Chains A and B, each alone.
Chain A
Amino acid sequence: MPAATSGQTIGPFWHLIEHPEWADLTRFGAAGDRIELTGSVTDGDGAAVTDAAVELWQADPPADHLFPGFGRCRTDARGEFRFTTLKPGPVPGRGNAQQAPHFAIALHARGLLKGLVTRAYFAGDPMNESDPLLSSIDDPERRATLIARSRGAGHWRIDIRLQRGPSGETETVFLDV
């Protein structure tokens, strides 16, 4: 059987398939612990990435007709994105492991010939200590790139760096999936 088809960049004009309401995963009426996840995407010059598609996926709460589990948001002229969703709970890992609550985030943009995948965990969650992925990353500064910070009630923030920044800011951990 043939191998999976090759990827190509989403390019700079993907906004033709952009629907801003997709950034609100609660728009079909899902009830639960509603939160906002905001953040930014910057490149190796520390410049805002203003043409990215940021995709959010969460396996919890389980997707249904009220909750798609998936959202997409463009980065704006400041490289910023914003999602409204429900806070995920823990989900099983492999074997007997449990995974701390997290989002999967995929980035697609001009200059990315295939998507980049990362995660956002929640600062202060006690399950982070035993999460298999977080535990596998030895460098604490790198590990911290996977953890969203609280910005007050129901608001979390994560900044994504495609490369080490000009002042030594740490490159986000991207995942080989």
Chain B
Amino acid sequence: MESARDPIPFRPYEPGTQPPYDVPAYGSTHKRHPQEALARLPHTVTEVAGPRFNPSQFPPIPDLSAVNGKAALGERIIVRGRITDEGGHPVPHTIVEIWQANAAGRYQHPADQHDAPSDPNFRGEGRVYTDEDGWYRFISIKPGAYPWRNHHNAWRPNHIHFSFFGSGFAARLITQMYFPGDPLLELDPIFLAIPDKAARDRLVCKLDMTLTEPEWALGYRFDVVLRGHAATPMEG
């Protein structure tokens, strides 16, 4: 039986907004997607509660564009955006993890065998927190496109990887931010795995001249919505 003390569950995902597990055009899904039906689990404290990170134990890394004061090669960018939940409420003081390839399309990672130069002055990892109104900001370099072996002549569009936690473990989100006008987007099985076009397009950031700093860096805006609760508790 349900009880009035039950935690308020997160909303179900909107149909078409999340990629399926089995995507034939993305070869790595073949042997890794579950074939049995998922077991339904009404949310309990395990799903509704989640980790909290604080800057003293998990220090911010807000600038990926330089190491020890030496600037990385490539096009410097500023990325800023607001994190809200599906009710439109800002998600304050939440951690944002970031990682990406360098300007040449190479990850500082032993498994990346792409024949492109690594850059010792590029930091592949970032970590920032939202402020009390849900805003985050970091500085980086526009990542390069890179080849992958999914199919003949496969290239990933320029992208930055993001990880968000939100207010509960069932709101966990790992995604990728893309750049406007990238012709590789329409060829990318990972991007195209999201059925709903409007949802896909929300992963593409927008050039924002109010974030752009003259003579220094282009600014891009990337807003993110995390799962919200199915019902709003009475306020007041």
Interface residues of A (CB under 8 A from B): 1-17, 28, 43-45, 47, 49, 51, 55, 57-59, 63, 65, 68-70, 91-96, 99, 102, 104, 106, 108-117, 119, 133, 136-137, 142, 162-164, 171-177
Contact = CB atoms under 8 A, between A and B. Distances in A.
A119 B47 CA distance: 11
Contact of A175 (B41, B45, B52, B193): B41
B35 interface: yes
B203 A177 contact: no
Interface of B: 1-3, 5-6, 10-11, 13-14, 17-21, 23, 26-36, 38-47, 49-54, 57, 84, 86-88, 97-99, 101, 107-109, 111-112, 124-125, 127, 161, 163, 169-176, 190-191, 193-194, 196, 199-200, 202-203, 224-228
Residue of A3, A102, A133 with most chain B CB atoms under a 10 A cut-off: A3
Contacts, number: 224
A3 B5 CA distance: 26
Contacts of B1: 95-96
Contacts of A8: 19, 161, 174-176, 190-191, 194, 203
B39 A10 contact: no
Given A3-B199, A113-B26, A176-B38, A44 B31 contact: yes
A4 B173 contact: yes
